[in-house]
Chains A and B, each alone.
Chain A
């Protein structure tokens, strides 16, 4: 995946000024760097450039307070499949929370639900923005291993240095 001559400005603040980026469409690419450097901006630019077959996990959970965990997953499936939803909930370690509403979940659980919903989307590649915010490290690693087992290219942002050892490449901004 290539982005040529990328310029992004928010008002007076220039995030990227005529920059080129190349991200291989395979394996796990980790976008690293301090806060505010433009990791999310780059991830969104990649998603905007390659929307077909891409699933995007937003930095905020963006869950619907009136839908259950299971409904969050079936809502994005075509067609809705409760068995499939159970599989994704198991992947993000939320089995047993099918009927829970977002407010009944802890911060980390809500994050995993948002991640599960993103994974349930029909997609060929994943763009994940801070997928493990609020999730403990052993669980992060278990879930990441399962995600990589899906065989889809993954581009993700994250602050945890432990995740770097799982990455095929680290793009430091």
Chain B
């Protein structure tokens, strides 16, 4: 079996199995209001796709989640770096990050909604959910820098800034990247949840809420499918960029031409 066929079998076969099970379950339930079948959802999706509102909602949500995720990654990375650079930042920020990580997302959504307009809540929530993940991954990586390399830097008279630039940051970069990928998934979940609760004008979350309100279960599934597809798409695209960069780095480090 060629590589292409293997990959196809790995994707299509499980997809067919699960869609088949879904169809069987929908037929067993026999009530579209409770559980529409995959074909009905697909038909609804095809109807929604050509409309301007669909694309506007999808792209706006994408922009919000991406902006929030990027902000969260930047904040998480910066706080991790600053807290390992200067201990008082660690004392000050670590409890905050831990509290943010432990607080239920719904509490944050309602709280932030008091302070921001509905359109900005998903951005802030995506950032708040991403930051602790990236912070935790990066801070742990910075804590695990090889002490022998740090000893070498000290013995060879490297300044703290130079030690960070040459040793600590390259050491932590792979963990930061992995943290960003995990955080992006969380940003999608939290961002869309915020949209469902706050219902900004153009948003996938608002569409999900409206579909639920009108008891259009097929629409609810269709909009959710769009969220899932966008999440996969972004993860795939970013994963590709990361793989390319990381692969180049690894080849270089491992001595493969």
Contact = CB atoms under 8 A, between A and B. Distances in A.
B148 A60 contact: yes
Interface in A57-109: 58, 60, 62, 64-67, 75-76, 78, 101-105
25 contacts: A47-B155, A55-B156, A56-B155, A58-B148, A58-B151, A60-B148, A62-B149, A62-B151, A62-B152, A64-B149, A64-B166, A64-B167, A64-B170, A65-B253, A66-B170, A66-B253, A67-B166, A75-B166, A76-B156, A76-B157, A78-B157, A101-B255, A102-B253, A103-B253, A103-B254
A121 B253 contact: no
Size class of the contact patch on chain B: 10 to 19
A75 B158 contact: yes
A63 B174 CA distance: 18
B156 A66 contact: no
B238 to A, nearest CB: 22
A65 B166 CA distance: 10
A173 to B, nearest CB: 23
B152 A58 contact: yes
Interface residues of A, number: 20
A158 to B, nearest CB: 20
Interface of B: 148-149, 151-152, 155-158, 162, 166-167, 170, 249, 252-255
A78 B254 CA distance: 29
B102 to A, nearest CB: 35
Contacts of A102: 253
B38 to A, nearest CB: 47
Nearest to A78: B157
Given A58-B152, A60-B148, A76-B157, A103 B166 contact: no
Nearest to B146: A62
A74 B157 CA distance: 13
Nearest to A101: B252
Contacts of A105: 255
A62 B145 CA distance: 12
B253 A76 contact: no
Indicate the member of B149, B156, B157 with the most A CB atoms within 10 Å.
B156
Contacts of B151: 58, 62
A104 B249 contact: no
A64 B153 CA distance: 11
A66 B252 contact: yes
Contact of A76 (B148, B149, B158, B249): B158
The 9 closest A-B pairs by CB, nearest first: A103-B255, A104-B255, A65-B253, A62-B152, A66-B170, A76-B156, A103-B254, A103-B253, A101-B252
Nearest to A76: B156
Contacts of A65: 253
Contacts of B166: 64, 67, 75
Given A60-B148, A62-B148, A103-B254, 5 more contacts: A56-B155, A58-B151, A58-B155, A64-B167, A103-B252
A108 to B, nearest CB: 15
Contacts of B155: 47, 56, 58
A105 B255 CA distance: 8
Interface in A22-46: none
Contacts of B249: 66
